[in-house]
Chains A and B, each alone.
Chain A
Amino acid sequence: MADIQKQFEEFNDVVRLKQYEHNANLREKRDVILKKLKERLKVLFEERDDDLPKYTHFDQGSYKLGTGVKPLTGDFDIDVGLLFEVDRDEYRDPVVVKQWVYDALDGHTKKVEMRRPCVTVFYQNGEEPLYHVDLAVYSAADSNFDNKICVGKGKQGSPPENCIWEEADPDGLITVLTGKYSGDDWEQFRRCLRYLKRWKDLKFPTAGNAAPVGIGLTIAAYNWFYPKQKIVDNYAGQTRTDDLGALLDFANAMLCNFNLVFRDGEYAERIEAKLPVVPYGDVFEKMSNQYMTKFKEKLQKLVAVMEEAMKEADPVEACKKLQKVFGDDFPVPERDDTGAKRGPAIITSSHSA
């Protein structure tokens, strides 16, 4: 069994969205939009001679969890929550509130779109997508009689039954997810999630609901991921972080959680990833049975490749195999690098007599 933890960690360094380096840039872009939003909303409401309801913003999604991966296309994604102090009784149709955001930002870039869960502002360089900002609109808890936070779902032209305020707990979700592990275990959790997300980006079409959503993989990891160390020297009590083993166990655990269910008029094997907070819904719900089957097949393939890599004694061969599932960003070491490493010839000692 080759020791390729170093390659996994290098892979992680390449694919991860670095919160302090990369995101400083993205945060700047986010702030530009928020500034624009503030200015334009003020103008819009002044024109209508109306009072602008107060609102605040917060970070959400993988951006907040630090589980993001660099997009293959370069189309980075920024998730922002806008918490409006609006009473759901007063603004029964969330599209009205979403429309404020849309109107304020429309024309800011070439493409601004109201989608069911959010308003998205696309940044492009010519036809090349650069990044996009998803702005989800919430009704604040304090503004409602039931003290519930709700996210506005629906878009222009949707039938009224699809335009709803849906209860949500964005803070609670982050708290629950980040509370599962800490320290090195949390880091391994995040690394393995990133490997899986990169695999997803590579192996699934981007369009529609063909790919499992990132939050779904995160919830799956919350449910079924366990940190793993392998014993290097039992006598010395020495262990080594084992990302390959942890990810393999996690992928296997996901496969075990595919269950035969009856849906859309047929029996299909499906996996659920239910939110651990309100509204507790299955975030894989939108995947069709067909896409689910593909998901399972791809996972099986991933497991098979990882098992082969694990059996491989030669780290070069092991990494070559993994490159097939994780892409070219997964490093394959040079032959010269793979010989038994030796520590320095002079070290400090704790011994005395």
Chain B
Amino acid sequence: MNELLLSAARTHGLARPYILSSEELTSMPQQHGVPTQGIRGEIEIEGQTVAISLVLRFSAPCCLPIIFVQPWDKFGVIPHVDTDGYVCFAQNEGLIIDPNRFEEVVSTSLGRAIAQLRAGARRENSRDFIDEFLPYWNRQKEILKCQCFVEPSNEPKLIQVFVQGAKYTYVCDHEADVRAYLSGSETIHLTQRNALYVPLPIGTVIEPPHPDAGWSPMEATTVVSRCFDSRTAKKVSMLCHKLTKSEELVVARLPRTDGSGGALFGLKYEGVGKTHPLAGGPTPTALTPVSLSRCDRALLLPRGGANVDLHNKRVLVAGCGSVGGFLSVELARAGIGHLTLVDYDSLEEVNVFRHVLGRKHLNKKGTKAELLSKHISDNIPYMDVTPIPDRIEQAIKTGKADLSTVDLIVVALGDPTTELYLNRLAGDAPAKFPPLVFVWVEAYGIGWHVQVSNNAHEGGGCLECLYTNMPGDQSGLHCRASFAEAGQEFGRNFSGCSGLFIPYGSTIAMHAALLAIKSATDVLTGRELGNPQLSVKGSSSAFTEMGFTLTERYLKNTDVDLYEHRYDYVSPACAVCGDRP
């Protein structure tokens, strides 16, 4: 292996290469991985001689070698070189390395690192600072940290900063943004002050400050204000009239090279005179850099995989049990911004193994709807969650649940009687009702089902169709989608009538919830224009071991068959959506 390293060093012209001793390896920076062996040699770049170390980590040859340059700032602050000399020559994610051609891997790495240094020394890659500015900014010592909700607009503006002693907590356009982020779960009791937001023009190149020295107040002011065009300067000057404290925060935006997004960084001036430094006032006495952690919804939602288009949608979830619990949390994560959760039931010990709310919620006051609302607000930003601790029928009847403001209802009651009632209400006044997504699981996890109603732009179909017998069938109320044969009793009883439950596991509830979320989001985004009935088969072994009987529908169909026939359940004789005389 050492020979391999020396060979790479020779190939790339490292002078006087030698194998690093174990003491030398131990004294190297460890945070990029513990070095196990390595070489060091010298190279001249742009007339300056630097030492290059190439070390292998424990997991070599399944990872790239690490390359350090010493001294790190021999060429000034240049892109892709960290203060410990670490040279970033490749992305660490999204790579596949061929361990069988490790010699090539090492040689290529060294070649790229040297090329990176050379480009830095020649100031050829200074633009890389723009797209990668924040890591360089944030490595400054004594930096303040603050959550940022400021929309990175193209105009200078006044913004708000929440101060807690010497610390900044939030910086935002409006207090409401912070409240929305907190989903109403925390109360803000902080001092609020004006601050300045300044966008720098596209194409601005700023060399980040030296991490040890930082910028002086004068340097900072110069760096930022020299980028202003006259219009911006004028606007900034006007805004600065309102900024008269001795301590002032400036949030600057450095756009990416393509003009999108960009890096936001903060400058905290102290000892500000009567006129703001950016309006030509005297140089403040001190400057502290501020690291801004962006929490605005335009960045957070897509970054977390949520759908921004869904964020203004309003979904009512009827039933906050096992399925409804997972479903509500995941609807929020999918990007739905407004949830109304309806359930009158309370969380009990017997629920914890299959409910998203675990043991710690057991002794809390409130219904499942209330506890779940709190759980979502506490954990997921930008949520507007309203609990209605009532039965869904009652909530609709009394107007507590205002359906006119709801885009979709997910029904996870596991109670066909109430579900059919809701379906009929929608059938009676289709225009007043949003689309409905019914979801349920079957005993012992033999399957899970979703039924979309009141969404069809063409073709009918509703939950009632599933309970409409075909001619010659006299099975009555039995659901046609069911995998369990009619006339069997599945409720298990541990403590008298009140302890009756239908056995199925948490994963089944999750599967059902996911299927319902897919349907709900498809309906809300217009990808689903019909009223499909989706069924997925689970394992039947526990069910049949208990001596229960499966339907032909379960036995004869694969999941693919079931999916292909998802619109074929529609019954012309349906009392709700069928052909009416």
CB-based contact A347/B440 at 8 Å: no
* 17 contacting pairs across A/B (C-beta < 8 A): A232-B472, A235-B481, A236-B482, A237-B555, A238-B475, A238-B480, A239-B552, A240-B472, A343-B478, A344-B477, A345-B476, A347-B478, A347-B486, A352-B414, A353-B413, A353-B439, A353-B440
CB-defined contacts of A240 to chain B, threshold 8 Å: 472-473
- In the complex, the answer to whether B486 meets A232 with C-beta atoms within 8 Å is no
Whether the Cβ atoms of B442 and A235 lie closer than 8 Å is: no
Give me the interface of A with B, judged by CB distance under 8 Å: 3, 230, 232-240, 340-345, 347-353
- Distance, CA A149 to CA B413, complexed state (A): 70
Q: How far is the CA of A146 from the CA of B323 in the complex (A)?
A: 74
Nearest Cβ distance between residue B169 and chain A, in whole angstroms?
A: 41
A236 and B488 in contact, given A343-B476, A351-B440, A353-B322 (Cβ under 8 angstroms): no
Enumerate chain B residues within 8 angstroms of A341, measured Cβ to Cβ: 474
Q: Per-residue CB proximity of B487-514 to A under 8 Å, as 1/0? A: 1111100000000011010000100100
* Chain B min CB distance to A130 (Å): 42
Sample of 10 further A-B pairs with CB below 8 A, known A347-B487, A352-B441, A353-B324: A235-B568, A237-B553, A238-B551, A342-B474, A343-B478, A344-B476, A347-B477, A347-B486, A350-B488, A353-B509
From B413, B472, B553, name the one whose CB has the most chain A CB atoms within 10 angstroms. Answer: B472
- B483 vs chain A, min Cβ distance (A): 8
B470 touching A233 by the CB < 8 A rule?
yes
Find the A residue at minimum CB distance from B321: A353
Q: Tell me the complex Cα distance, A351–B491, Å.
A: 10
A352 contacts B502, CB within 8 Å?
Answer: yes
In the complex, B319 has a CB within 8 A of chain A = yes
- Contact partners of B509 in chain A: CB under 8 A: 353
Closest residue of chain A to B478 (Cβ to Cβ) is A347
Contacts of B442 in A (CB 8 A): 350-352
Are B476 and A350 in contact (CB-based, < 8 A)?
no
Instruction: Report the separation of the CA atoms of residues A344 and B474 in the bound assembly, to the nearest whole angstrom.
Output: 10
Hey, which chain A residues are within 8 Å of B475, CB to CB?
238, 343
Q: Are B556 and A237 in contact (CB under 8 A)?
A: yes
Overall SS of chain B's interface:
loop
Give per-residue flags for B504-538: 1 if the beta carbon is below 8 A from chain A beta carbons, else 0. 10000100100000000000000000000000000
Chain B residues within an 8 Å CB radius of A350? 442-443, 446, 482-484, 488, 490, 502
Counting chain B CB atoms within 10 Å of each CB, the highest count among A233, A235, A340, A345 belongs to: A235
- Choice from B470, B487, B501, B504 contacting A238 with Cβ under 8 Å: B470
| B442, B477, B554, most chain A CB atoms within 10 A | B477
Cβ-defined contact, A237 with B551, below 8 A: yes
Q: Which residues of A contact B476 (CB under 8 A)?
A: 342-345, 347
Q: Which of B310-346 contact A (CB under 8 A)?
A: 319, 321-324
Contacts of B504 in A (CB 8 A): 352
Chain A residues near B491: list those with CB within 8 A: 348
- The docked-state distance in angstroms from the alpha carbon of A343 to that of B470 is 13
From B477, B478, B554, B569, give the contact of A235 (CB < 8 A): B569
Within 8 A of A (CB), among B454-475: 469-475
**Structural contact, A235 and B440, CB atoms closer than 8 A:** no
Interface string of B404-435 (1 = CB under 8 A from A): 00000000111110000000000000000000
Interface residues of B (CB under 8 A from A): 319, 321-324, 412-416, 439-443, 446, 469-484, 486-491, 501-502, 504, 509, 512, 551-557, 565, 568-569
| Cβ-defined partner of B552 (8 Å) among A3, A237, A342 | A237
- A interface: dominant SS: loop
- B391 nearest CB across to chain A (Å): 14
Q: Does the CB pair B553–A235 fall under 8 Å?
A: yes
Asked if A232 and B473 sit within 8 Å, CB to CB, the answer is: yes
Who on chain B is nearest to A234 by CB?
A: B568
Give CA–CA (A344, B319) in the complex, Å. Answer: 27
Min CB distance A335 to B, Å, is: 18
B residues within 8 A CB of A237?
Answer: 551-557
* Chain B residue at smallest Cβ distance from A348: B489
* A236 adjacent to B440 (CB under 8 Å): no
Cα distance A234–B512 when bound, in Å?
24
Within the complex, what minimum Cβ distance (angstroms) separates A104 from chain B? 53
Please report the C-alpha to C-alpha distance between residue A196 and residue B123 in the assembled complex, in whole angstroms.
Answer: 102
Interface centre among B476, B512, B554, B568 (most CB of A within 10 A): B476
- Are B481 and A236 interface neighbours, CB within 8 A? yes
Closest to A235 in B: B569
Chain A residues, CB < 8 A from B470: 232-233, 236, 238
CB distance from B421 to the nearest CB of A (A): 14
B547 to chain A, nearest CB (A): 14
Considering only CB atoms, which chain A residue lies closest to B490 in the complex? A350
Which residue of A238, A342, A349 has the most chain B CB atoms within 10 A of its CB atom? Answer: A349
CB nearest to B446 among chain A residues: A350
Nearest Cβ on chain A to B564's Cβ, whole angstroms: 12
Which 9 pairs of residues, A with B, have the shortest CB-CB distance?
Answer: A343-B476, A353-B414, A237-B552, A237-B553, A350-B484, A236-B480, A352-B502, A352-B414, A233-B470
CB distance from B513 to the nearest CB of A (A): 9
Q: Is the CB of A233 within 8 A of B480?
A: yes
Roughly how many angstroms separate A240 CA and B474 CA in the complex, as a whole number?
11
Q: Would you call B323 and A351 a contact (CB within 8 A)?
A: no
Roughly how many angstroms separate A343 CA and B473 CA in the complex, as a whole number? 9
**B440 to A, closest residue via Cβ:** A351
Which among A230, A236, A240, A343 has the greatest number of chain B C-beta atoms within 10 A? A236
If A350-B482, A353-B440, A353-B512 touch, does A238 touch B568 (CB 8 Å cutoff)?
no
Given A235-B565, A343-B475; A353-B552 close (CB under 8 Å): no
Q: Nearest chain B CB to A25's CB is how many angstroms away? A: 35
> Which chain A residue lies CB-closest to B483?
A350
Is B555 in contact with A349, judged by CB distance below 8 angstroms? no
Nearest neighbor of B550 in chain A, beta-carbon distance? A237
Which of A235, A340, A344, A352 makes the CB contact (< 8 A) with B443?
A: A352
Report the minimum CB–CB distance from B5 to chain A (whole Å).
Answer: 62
A345 to B109, CA, bound (A): 76
Residues of B near A348 (CB, < 8 A) are 487-491
**B366 → A minimal CB distance (Å):** 20
Contacts of B480 in A (CB 8 A): 233, 235-236, 238
Given contacts A342-B474, A343-B475, contact A353 B481 (CB under 8 A): no
Asked if residues A353 and B319 are in contact (CB atoms below 8 Å), the reply is yes
Chain A residues near B551 (CB, 8 Å)? 236-238
Q: Which of B321, B481, B552 has the most chain A CB within a 10 Å cutoff?
A: B552
Given A233-B480, A236-B553, A348-B489, A353 and B472 contact (CB-CB distance below 8 Å): no
Interface contact B565-A349, CB-CB below 8 Å: no
Task: Point out the residues of chain A lying under 8 angstroms from B414, CB to CB.
Answer: 351-353
Q: Give chain A nearest CB distance to B280 CB in angstroms.
A: 66
Report Cα–Cα, A239/B439, bound state, in Å: 26
Q: How far is A250 from B522 in the complex, measured between Cα atoms in Å?
A: 51
Q: Decide if B474 touches A351 in the complex (CB within 8 Å).
A: no
Give CA–CA (A230, B473) in the complex, Å.
Answer: 11
In the complex, which residues of chain B have a beta carbon less than 8 angstroms from the beta carbon of A230?
Answer: 472
* Bound Cα distance A351, B414 (Å): 5
Shortest A234–chain B CB gap in Å is: 7
